[in-house]
Amino acid sequence: MRGAQKTFSEPGKPAIEVLSGVDLDVAEHEFVCLLGPSGCGKSTLLNMCAGFESIDGGTIAIDGEPVMGPDPRRVFVFQEYAIFPWMSVWDNIAFGLQGRSDAQRHEIARHYIELVGLEGFERAYPRELSGGMKQRVGVARALAVNPDILYMDEPFGALDSLTRLNLRSQLIQIWRREKKTILFVTHDIDEATQLGQRVVVMSARPARIKTIVDLSGLAYPRDIDSAEYIQARDRLFEEMGVSTRV
């Protein structure tokens, strides 16, 4: 992405400049976190990458091709559980596989149900599941269509801290196994330190890239008690202008 720029303007209201000239390159199979204060423009940037939102200046290209709109090779996992309440776990996960044979759908759905640990809940409906389980259905459904890129917008934001920790470690395992490129938006410093190979720290609105912190030296699974982890996390606190003392 080069010089990505976005301004929202509505008649009769002052225009809101949300992004001013964002440059970023993401490598294939990389896990990149976008970290920034609430309202800075993270979701807007992710929506532009995914083709849900237009770009007002600059370019966003994937494999050299400008993003023109949503593409099934790239899927989005939202903060709110974007699964169908009237479909079972199984049908939700198999939803994107309509072009496949029954045998293939079965095999793929089975694989992702196991991957996210929902065996035994295939016939359950979303209302019968906990928040964390619903979010796992969302992740499995996104993975089942075998995308190259996963865009994740605070997917674990609505969950309690233990469930979040658990799902982050599952996500890391899945990412390492399935070799996806992941762009993950968060405003949670710990989440970014646990997940990202690189963390892109954004400024308040209009968002620019303040700095990019390279955490590729921190091996997975990350030990949140290790000195290196704490050092990396403190660096992100500093870059975000937040004190580590409460």
Ligand X SMILES: Nc1ncnc2c1ncn2[C@@H]1O[C@H](COP(=O)(O)OP(=O)(O)OP(=O)(O)O)[C@@H](O)[C@H]1O
Residues interacting with ligand X, by CB under 6 A? 8, 16, 18, 36, 38-44, 187, 205
According to the binding rule CB under 5 A, does residue 135 interact with Mg ion? no
Decide: 134 and 146 in contact? Cβ < 8 Å.
no
Q: Which does 18 bind (CB under 5 to 8 A by kind): ligand X, Mg ion, none?
A: ligand X
Decide: 149 and 181 in contact? Cβ < 8 Å.
yes
Q: Which residue has the tokens 């609505």?
A: 158
**What is the Cα 127 distance to its own chain's centre?**
24
Please say which residue, 41 or 51, places its beta carbon nearer to ligand X.
41
Q: Which does 126 bind (CB under 5 to 8 A by kind): Mg ion, ligand X, none?
A: none
Please say which residue, 106 or 208, places its beta carbon nearer to Mg ion.
208
Q: How far is the CB of 24 from ligand X (least distance, A)?
A: 15
Please say which residue, 39 or 241, places its beta carbon nearer to ligand X.
39
Please give the helix or strand (H or E) that residue 199 lies within, else none.
strand 198-202
Nearest to 43 by CA among 158, 141, 184: 184
Q: How far is the CB of 108 from ligand X (least distance, A)?
A: 32
Please say which residue, 43 or 193, places its beta carbon nearer to ligand X.
43
According to the binding rule CB under 5 A, does residue 43 interact with Mg ion? yes
Nearest to 170 by CA among 128, 199, 138: 138
Nearest to 190 by CA among 236, 245, 124, 139: 236
According to the binding rule CB under 5 A, does residue 47 interact with Mg ion? no
Instruction: Name 185's bridge partners.
Output: 34, 153
Q: Which does 70 bind (CB under 5 to 8 A by kind): Mg ion, ligand X, none?
A: none
Q: State the residues that interact with Mg ion by CB under 5 A.
A: 43
